[in-house]
Structure 1
Amino acid sequence: MKNKIFSLTILMLVIITSCKDKANEVETKDAEKVAKAEESAVSYTVDTDNSLIMWKGFKPTGSHNGVITVSGGDFELKDDNLQSGSVTIDMKSIEVLDIPKEEKGNAKLKGHLTSADFFDVETYPYANFAITDVSESDGKTMIEGNLTIKDVTNNISIPVTTTVDGDRMTLKSEKFTIDRSKWNVRYGSKSFFDDLGDSFINDDIELQIDVNASKS
């Protein structure tokens, strides 16, 4: 009995710690019209070799994390201020970092994430984020954008930092969390299934965008 209580206590601590460490969930709205830059804006092309999206997924017993590569995109800036842009995300490139690559669990998890259970990359090989608005709030740059995953598009708002240095620019978001169920990613989701018990996987996916670009 004591062992059961101890195990339950450990499990609850893991859940509480995981929730505490999670970034705030962004508001999800209907898709909006994509922003257009002024004709005099300067274009920057995404450097795909130096751009990544970090991800982290949660379950009752802990979490997994990894990266996804950016396969293309561009931004338009006027007087070093971001006006518009988009990035294309290569969903086939999902990598798992918390499990050593030589272990079977790495390939198993990657295979599951890329399968029809999750992101179905054979059918939907790319995701996309397109800026719909740029504003300043409490000293932070906020970008709203249409995030498309599995042909489902929702508009989200995230805080970012943009830096321009010569012919190079960097856009880096703060960590933020999306609710995968709103993009029809159903596996193990309590939003779709009632009989999962403790075998569910949280709807929350934590993301952080780190994109580099060069003047076109």
Structure 2
Amino acid sequence: MNKILVAIITFATFTTTIMAQNKTINTADSKVVWKGYKVTGSHEGTITLQSGNLNFKDEVLTGGEFVMDMTTINTTDLEGDYKGQLDGHLKSDDFFGVNNFKTAKLVFTNVKLTGKNSYVVTGDLTIKDKTNPVTVNISVYGSKATATLKIDRTKFGVKYGSANFFDGLKDKAIYDEFDLVADLQF
């Protein structure tokens, strides 16, 4: 009788282990795009994903974590001197201060299945050593996932050009929220 019980427990443990999977993100084939808005238009660019993983159980997303290399933030809608100036400004202490804060990190804290292959994730986002909760929409298809989120930069100490903190900006104001879209391969 004991041998049967041991066999059942061993099989159950083995089966559970197989059904829970941690899938590493292929950072070379994945892409993170940002888009920021101002009164007179918008700018967009990319940030390199340094590392990441998604956790699944029975093919259902249950968790994840991502680290972005903020030193790679770059503008893709400008060229020449304008691109260089904006890239430098985004890396400066006015924005992301990449000399002191080289990475940003997102850690999933709650995952809710909202439809076939669709999830709403609550996570802790850390930028410039400040951590705040964010909501992420994620769709998973096979070995690909798309994550979208809107971030209020002022919650992370990025206040440059914010009409909520500076008077008289008029058409120089930069909106507090920016978008991130990550196309992930694993």
With normalisation by structure 2, the TM-score equals: 0.84
Q: Distance in 2 between matches of 1:43 and 1:53?
A: 20
Q: Distance in 1 between matches of 2:17 and 2:94?
A: 43
Q: What aligned pairs does 1:82-101 form with structure 2 within 5 A after superposition? A: 82-100=61-79
Q: Distance in 1 between matches of 2:42 and 2:21?
A: 40
Aligned to 2:13: none
Aligned to 1:160: 138
- Output the amino acid matched with 2:169: L
- Output the amino acid matched with 2:178: I
1:138 Cα deviation from its structure 2 partner: 5.7
Partner of 1:195, secondary structure, is coil
- Runs of at least 5 residues in structure 2 that lack an aligned partner in the other structure: 1-15
Q: Is the 8 A contact 1:189 1:201 kept in 2?
A: yes
Query: Please, which of 174, 179, 182 is the counterpart of residue 206 of structure 1?
Result: 179
- Output the amino acid matched with 1:204: E
Aligned to 2:146: 172
Aligned to 1:42: 21
- Percent of aligned pairs with the same residue? 36
Q: Distance in 2 between matches of 1:137 and 1:75?
A: 17
Spell out structure 1 runs of 4+ moving beyond 3 A.
Answer: none
Query: Please, which of 73, 96, 109 is the counterpart of residue 86 of structure 2?
Result: 109
1:188 Cα deviation from its structure 2 partner: 0.8
Q: Is the 8 A contact 1:76 1:82 kept in 2?
A: yes
Query: Please, which of 110, 116, 137 is the counterpart of residue 133 of structure 1?
Result: 110
Larger radius of gyration between Structure 1 and Structure 2: 2
Aligned to 1:17: none
- Is 1:52 equivalent to 2:25 in the alignment? no
Q: Distance in 1 between matches of 2:54 and 2:150?
A: 23
- Output the amino acid matched with 1:172: T
Larger % of strand: which?
A: 2
- Runs of at least 5 residues in structure 1 that lack an aligned partner in the other structure: 1-37
Partner of 2:108, secondary structure, is strand
Aligned to 1:20: none
- Output the amino acid matched with 2:30: S
Partner of 1:129, secondary structure, is strand
Q: Distance in 2 between matches of 1:208 and 1:81?
A: 21
Number of residues of Structure 1 aligned to a counterpart in Structure 2: 169
Q: Is the 8 A contact 2:67 2:105 kept in 1?
A: yes
Distance 1:203 1:92, change over 3 A: same
- Output the amino acid matched with 2:166: F
Query: Please, which of 52, 57, 64 is the counterpart of residue 78 of structure 1?
Result: 57
- Is 1:147 equivalent to 2:112 in the alignment? no
Q: Distance in 2 between matches of 1:170 and 1:149?
A: 25
Q: Distance in 1 between matches of 2:161 and 2:126?
A: 21
Which string of whole-angstrom CA distances, capped at 9 and with x for unpartnered residues, describes residues 148-199 of structure 1? Answer: 11111111122211122xxxx222024x422111111011112222232332
Q: Distance in 1 between matches of 2:17 and 2:157?
A: 37
